[in-house]
């Protein structure tokens, strides 16, 4: 990906079924734009005699390959109603069946591992892919190929559909849209015109799209990330490096009061619909205080953790200057330089945070989400939204317990709405 591009984010919904298990089987998959929810590509195929699980895996492979053809550098959220496939591809369940191991390996090889995440959804939310699979099986029963131009899958399962879809080979038959060949490669495929909405901010050096002058069209409800820096720990007032490679301190008494104050302020606003936090203890404790007040649960995302400061963990800036002066100078001069002892560079952190951001944008499109995280991730999200260079990280102040906010629009642009608000912490 070139430095001037922004990373696209796709949602892949896939399904497969067998009328007999094993029996006549088919799959369906749809690639959607994460920001707008618009359909970019559909694919389906009758695969002969197979089991439900094999058909589901074939649908997954075809969906990932369709997304890869659209943009090989994209981030992808896969949503399926197959608990088996989701858990196995997420690495939580072993793949024991010999027919599924090569298909799982095939799916895993389409994109880099850190570009794809998996989410189980109820069958009711997977109607589009379900209908495509049934269309493919219906075509196979007639001795024909599934034809994209004849498909009614999107019309029959969209928000304005007049009737609900029937179950995949686990239940009924339907009608059909974008044709593909075998899971090994796509054949004819109906592709929606690509637009700026397909793009989202990406890697460390990637600038946000240029803002358009004047008033633009109504882009609908943006996805808003409210960014809460965790409350103070015993290390915070001493200004010590405290990243993800150190002692993982808990909140101090002051930090707990800051978390409670943030919780009250956010409850008064009444806009937060989900809470996601860094795995580090100080963020988990801060997030728990807010989530309890809002009646929400906390989801953990590894991508939101603080920089690993290597051998500098627990030291003050002056102590690092005294012990590692050359390494510190290099770190201050270049976002690609790592702290002493093999920590993370700011470029590496930015790539990690950008991947987490893209996946969260796909998961929570159009919603307001509280991200409880640390100094570097918050500053990184702010600078990526502004298209600012890496050195901007050193030109922002971010207090413990402060609130910031970034809104992401369907055209790929982002707007920094708030930075370092500490009004709720004042007596």
| Catalytic residue of the set 56, 135, 306, 313 | 306
125 assigned to active site: no
The whole-number pLDDT of residue 1 equals 52
What residues pair up with 372 in beta bridges, in sequence order? 228, 277
> How far, in Å, CA of 16 to CA of 47, rounded?
10
Least confident of 73-82, 211-220, 366-375: 211-220
Number of alpha helices (DSSP H) and beta strands (DSSP E) in the chain: 11, 13
pLDDT at 199 over 80: no
The whole-number pLDDT of residue 208 equals 38
Annotate 34-63 with b (16+ C-beta within 10 A) or e (fewer). bbbeebbbbbbbbbeebbbbbbbbbbbbbb
Name the band, by pLDDT with cuts 50, 70 and 90, for residue 70: very high
> How far, in Å, CA of 132 to CA of 183, rounded?
15
> How far, in Å, CA of 6 to CA of 208, rounded?
7
Per-residue pLDDT of 292-326, as tens digits, reads: 999 999 999 999 999 999 999 999 999 999 999 99
The whole-number pLDDT of residue 148 equals 84
Per-residue pLDDT of 349-364, as tens digits, reads: 999 999 999 899 888 8
Question: Which position has the higher pLDDT, 235 or 96?
Answer: 235
Name the band, by pLDDT with cuts 50, 70 and 90, for residue 37: confident
The whole-number pLDDT of residue 154 equals 79
- From 71, 75, 81, 73, select the one nearest 29 (Cα to Cα): 81
The whole-number pLDDT of residue 158 equals 61
Read off the pTM.
0.54
DSSP assignment of 335-348 equals TTPPPTTT---HHH
| Sign of the torsion angle spanned by Cα atoms 177, 180, 182, 185 | negative
> Which helix (H) or strand (E) is 281 found in, with range?
helix 281-294
Determine what percent of the chain is predicted with pLDDT higher than 90: 64
- The CA-CA-CA angle for residues 30, 163, 194, to 5°, reads 30
Name the band, by pLDDT with cuts 50, 70 and 90, for residue 201: very low
Per-residue pLDDT of 136-189, as tens digits, reads: 999 888 888 898 888 888 777 765 443 333 334 433 333 333 333 333 333 333
Secondary structure of 97-145 as H, E, C letters: CCCCHHHHHHHHCCCCHHHEEEEECCHHHHHHHHHHHHHHHHHHHCCCC
Question: How far is CA 347 from its chain centroid?
Answer: 19
The whole-number pLDDT of residue 160 equals 47
Token duo for residue 293: 């007040």
Q: What are phi and psi of 145, to 5 degrees?
A: -90, 150
230 assigned to active site: yes
pLDDT at 422 over 70: yes
The whole-number pLDDT of residue 217 equals 54
Per-residue pLDDT of 241-260, as tens digits, reads: 999 988 899 999 999 999 99
The whole-number pLDDT of residue 200 equals 32
pLDDT at 202 over 50: no
- The CA-CA-CA angle for residues 417, 421, 426, to 5°, reads 155
Q: Kindly state the DSSP code that residue 223 receives in the 8-state scheme.
A: E
Per-residue pLDDT of 82-103, as tens digits, reads: 999 999 999 999 888 877 888 9
The whole-number pLDDT of residue 101 equals 87
Least confident of 104-108, 225-229, 256-260: 104-108
Determine what percent of the chain is predicted with pLDDT higher than 70: 84
- From 207, 204, 225, select the one nearest 404 (Cα to Cα): 225
The whole-number pLDDT of residue 218 equals 55
| Catalytic residue of the set 230, 324, 374, 424 | 230
């Amino acid at each position: 990906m070139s430095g001037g591009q922004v990373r696209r984010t796709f949602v892949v919904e896939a399904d497969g079924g067998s009328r007999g298990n094993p029996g006549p089987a088919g799959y369906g998959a749809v690639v959607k734009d994460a920001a707008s929810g618009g359909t970019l590509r559909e694919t389906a195929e009758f695969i002969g005699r197979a089991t439900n699980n094999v058909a589901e895996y074939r649908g997954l492979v075809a969906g990932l390959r369709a997304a890869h053809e659209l943009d090989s550098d994209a981030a992808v959220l896969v949503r399926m109603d197959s608990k088996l496939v989701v858990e196995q591809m997420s690495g939580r369940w072993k793949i024991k069946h010999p027919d599924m191991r090569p298909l799982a390996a095939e799916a895993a090889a389409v994109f880099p591992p850190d570009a794809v995440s998996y989410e189980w959804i109820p069958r009711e939310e997977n109607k589009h892919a379900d209908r495509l699979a049934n269309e493919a099986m219906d075509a196979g029963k007639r001795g024909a190929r599934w034809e994209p131009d004849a498909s009614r899958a999107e019309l029959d399962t969209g928000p304005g559909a007049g009737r609900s879809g029937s179950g995949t080979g686990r239940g009924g038959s339907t009608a059909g849209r974008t044709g593909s060949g075998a899971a090994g490669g796509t054949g004819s495929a109906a592709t929606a015109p690509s637009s700026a909405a397909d793009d989202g901010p990406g890697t460390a050096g990637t600038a946000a799209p240029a803002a358009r002058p004047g008033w633009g069209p109504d882009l609908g409800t943006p996805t808003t990330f409210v960014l809460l820096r965790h409350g103070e720990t015993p290390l915070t007032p001493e200004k010590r490096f405290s990243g993800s490679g150190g002692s993982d301190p808990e909140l101090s008494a002051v930090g707990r009061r800051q978390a409670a104050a943030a919780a009250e302020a956010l409850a008064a606003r009444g806009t937060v619909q989900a809470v996601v936090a860094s795995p580090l203890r100080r963020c988990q404790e801060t997030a728990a205080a807010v989530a309890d007040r809002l009646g929400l649960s906390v989801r953990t995302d590894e991508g939101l953790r603080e920089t690993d400061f290597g051998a500098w963990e627990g030291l003050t800036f002056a102590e690092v200057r005294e012990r590692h002066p050359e390494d510190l100078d290099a770190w201050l001069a270049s976002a690609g330089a790592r702290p002493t002892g093999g920590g993370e560079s700011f470029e590496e952190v930015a790539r990690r945070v950008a991947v987490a951001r893209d996946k969260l944008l796909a998961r929570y499109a159009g919603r307001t989400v509280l991200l409880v995280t640390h100094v570097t991730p918050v500053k990184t999200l702010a600078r990526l939204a502004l298209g600012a260079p890496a050195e901007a990280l050193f030109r922002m102040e971010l207090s413990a317990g402060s609130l910031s906010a970034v809104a992401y629009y369907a055209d790929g642009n982002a707007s920094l709405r708030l930075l370092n608000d500490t009004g709720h912490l004042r007596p």
